[in-house]
Amino acid sequence: MGFFRSNIEAMDGYTPGEQPQHGKFIKLNTNENPYPPSREVTRAIQAVLEQGLGRYPDSMATAFRLRAADILQVSPDCILCGNGSDDLLTIITRALVGEGERLRLPYPSYVLYKTLANIQGAETEEIGFQSDWTLPPQFADASPGLKLAFLPNPNSPTGTLVSPTQVAAMAERMPCPLVADEAYVDFAEQSCLGLVARHDNVIVLRTMSKSYSLAGLRFGYLVAQPSLIAQFLKVKDSYNCDALSIAGATAAINDQTWLAETTVKIKATRTRLTRELAALGFDVIDSQANFVWAEHSRRSPRELYEELKASRVLVRYMKYARWREGLRISIGTDQQIDALLTLLKTMV
């Protein structure tokens, strides 16, 4: 067509997981939380609706930052909120990575990062995990034009975790900011949050979409030193979080009892799913997230995906050209996982 910047015309857009609009599916494909969110969320949103939506929202989402700062034991000045953590990933990439520069990622990992680099006209450097799911030392090496590194931790699609000790050692050597994308951290044993105070290049990214069951609300936040946040503020939309999402997210993070109860249930179901898939002949990677990566020695994952879909169970089929293909299965309720296992027993 020729109207657009050449990198936009050349790139593939990001394809989100299927969100069927018709029919009843058991949805285990986009790592949503199967349980309803804290009841306080609807109450808080209702209260905002009663006041009306005529005024612009607080551009800094102060109510959320104050609550979150207290819970996370950080200063509110270290928190920046976004319209989902994808919005913050966009802000970070736009602020740090220019045309022809480089963004480093582990491989395999979250596919959106590459799209963000492509939009900037930047290159990606993908560094493969080692067999024990740690990263090789070159993940932290300087290289010409390197401006930013993303590390989903726990990683998607593998569910594996790089220890905060290793992340700290890498951050120490890296010539650029390192984003620990902790979308799944509430299902994990360790977090990198404590590194922010000691490393001015560490950014911890969190979302309310997965562990708080608010993927439809669109709210995420990052924790970093105020000097970084001051630069990100220049790039973000003034009103990137709306009044309803600020109220809902604040109520959600305030209900830590709900979070603790729900994550305990999901982790118990994860343990059971991992065990039962193994009994059916699947290779399953031990997960610290709300999904598992599974491959079967005899059955093609694409066919299993298709057969499950025909029976109204959606899982994510993924193929990484330089790694493997397999199924990424989100942790549903026990009932949903039972339905999945019953079907799989007839297929493998």
Ligand X SMILES: *Cc1c(COP(=O)(O)O)cnc(C)c1O
Chosen residue from 60, 103, 171, 183 binding ligand X by CB under 6 A: 183
Q: Does 220 bind ligand X (CB under 6 A)?
A: yes
Q: Does 33 bind ligand X (CB under 6 A)?
A: no
Chosen residue from 33, 160, 207, 330 binding ligand X by CB under 6 A: 207
Q: Give, in degrees to the nearest 5, the angle at Cα 122 between 161 and 176.
A: 50
The two three-digit tokens of residue 132, written as one number? 């024990």
Cβ pair 207, 184 in contact under 8 A = no
The 3-class secondary structure across 270-285, one letter per residue, is HHHHHHHHHHCCEEEC
**Closest separation in Å from C-beta 317 to ligand X:** 17
Q: Does 85 bind ligand X (CB under 6 A)?
A: yes
**Closest separation in Å from C-beta 112 to ligand X:** 7
Q: Does 245 bind ligand X (CB under 6 A)?
A: no
The label of the residue with tokens 């951290």 reads 185
Q: Does 152 bind ligand X (CB under 6 A)?
A: yes
| Short-list 183, 184, 223, 221, CA closest to 203 | 223
List the x/- string, 95-134, binding to ligand X by CB under 6 A.
Answer: ---------------x------------------------
**Smaller CB distance to ligand X: residue 110 or 293?**
110
- What CA–CA distance (Å, rounded) separates 224 from 193? 9
Give me the half-sphere count of Cα atoms (radius 13 Å) on the Cβ side of residue 68.
28
**Closest separation in Å from C-beta 164 to ligand X:** 17
Burial of 210 per CB tally in 10 Å (0-12, 13-18, 19+): buried
Count of residues in contact with ligand X, rule CB under 6 A: 13
The label of the residue with tokens 């900011």 reads 177
**Closest separation in Å from C-beta 152 to ligand X:** 4
Q: Does 215 bind ligand X (CB under 6 A)?
A: yes
**Closest separation in Å from C-beta 149 to ligand X:** 14
**Smaller CB distance to ligand X: residue 207 or 213?**
207
Q: Give, in degrees to the nearest 5, the angle at Cα 232 between 230 and 236.
A: 125
The residue ranges that bind ligand X (CB under 6 A) are: 84-86, 110, 152, 156, 181, 183, 207, 209-210, 215, 220
